[in-house]
Amino acid sequence: MRRPVVLLLYTAVFVGEVMWSAIVPLVPAYAHRYALSPLQSGVLLASASIAILLVSVPAGMVGDRLGV
């Protein structure tokens, strides 16, 4: 694998993790401001992981068809 592609992948993973971890300290404030139940707060946290799954599966299928 070429070096720029590897750097791009590492950068994408890093940005994704930073964005996911940035929402964790905000959940109590969002729960208070929008009167979220504990279940709704958990769904808010899980939404980032669900979005990654929903995007990764079709992206992997497209990558298989078109190639790297």
Q: Find the mean pLDDT for residues 28-57.
A: 88
* Burial track 39-68 (b if 16+ CB lie within 10 A, e otherwise): eeeeebeeebeeeeeeeeeeeeeeeeeeee
In sign, the C-alpha dihedral spanning 32, 38, 43, 49 is positive
Write out the two tokens for 55: 């995007």
Q: Is the pLDDT of residue 33 over 60?
A: yes
Write out the two tokens for 6: 């590897």
Give the global pTM: 0.58
pLDDT tens digit string along 43-54?
A: 988 887 788 788
Q: Is the pLDDT of residue 23 over 80?
A: yes
